[in-house]
Amino acid sequence: MSGRQTRVRGTIAGLLFALFLPPFFVQAQNAKPAPSAQLTQDVKTWALKTAQYKEWLDQLQGEDFKFWLRLDGTRRPHKLYVSEGFTKASFNDQEQFVEIFSHYLAGHPDKYMLIDLYDAGTGQPIGEYGFGGFKLFRAASDLPPDMRTESPAQ
């Protein structure tokens, strides 16, 4: 008789468990949104922002501003050849331009791509954008005369 009572109790416990289980699943499903829907929305937002960056950068490449001429993406970090518009801009405008260019290259508004800056006229490196932020190298001709160092004659 005790074996039959154990089976009956097990069956009753199983039925009660089955009755109370679905509401917990329904509440859990309604509590948080599906991750794939959120990811799809995020990707669309990133694509829109990247497209806006591209449009803005294309304007700065045109005849009006001449901030940059070309991009060499065959190696990392990318080589960005900047023009006279970039060199005439304020430091803050230069930094903003390079930061947005970095976001555009990374394809994500919160990520960055390393960039080496080159003068389009001379082909010489003039700066970089990387883990240390935005840096411009100062040529000796840019320094005041009292700060220039002459190389020793040999």
pLDDT tens digits along 60-107? 887 778 899 999 989 889 999 999 999 999 999 999 999 999 999 998
Q: Which of 124, 148, 150 has the alpha carbon at shortest distance from 137?
A: 124
Does residue 17 fall inside a structural domain?
A: no
**Structural domain for 105, as ranges:** 42-138
Strand intervals (E) in the chain: 68-72, 78-82, 115-119, 125-130, 133-136
Q: What angle do CA 60, 63, 67 make, to 5 degrees?
A: 35
What confidence score (pLDDT) does residue 134 get? Answer: 94
pTM across the whole model: 0.64
pLDDT tens digits along 113-136? 999 999 999 999 999 999 889 999
Instruction: Tell me the residue type at 128.
Output: E
Does residue 113 fall inside a structural domain?
A: yes
Does residue 22 fall inside a structural domain?
A: no
Does residue 75 fall inside a structural domain?
A: yes
Instruction: Tell me the residue type at 116.
Output: D
Does residue 145 fall inside a structural domain?
A: no
Q: Map residue 118 onto helix, strand or coil.
A: strand
Q: Which residue has the higher pLDDT, 129 or 19?
A: 129
Cβ–Cβ under 8 Å, residues 94 and 136: yes
Per the structure, the count of domains in the chain is 1
What confidence score (pLDDT) does residue 37 get? Answer: 72
Does residue 15 fall inside a structural domain?
A: no
Does residue 72 fall inside a structural domain?
A: yes
Q: Which residue has the higher pLDDT, 5 or 1?
A: 5
Q: Which of 149, 69, 143 has the alpha carbon at shortest distance from 101?
A: 69
Instruction: Tell me the residue type at 104.
Output: Y
What confidence score (pLDDT) does residue 115 get? Answer: 96
Does residue 132 fall inside a structural domain?
A: yes
Measured CA to CA, the distance from residue 114 to residue 125 in angstroms comes to 14
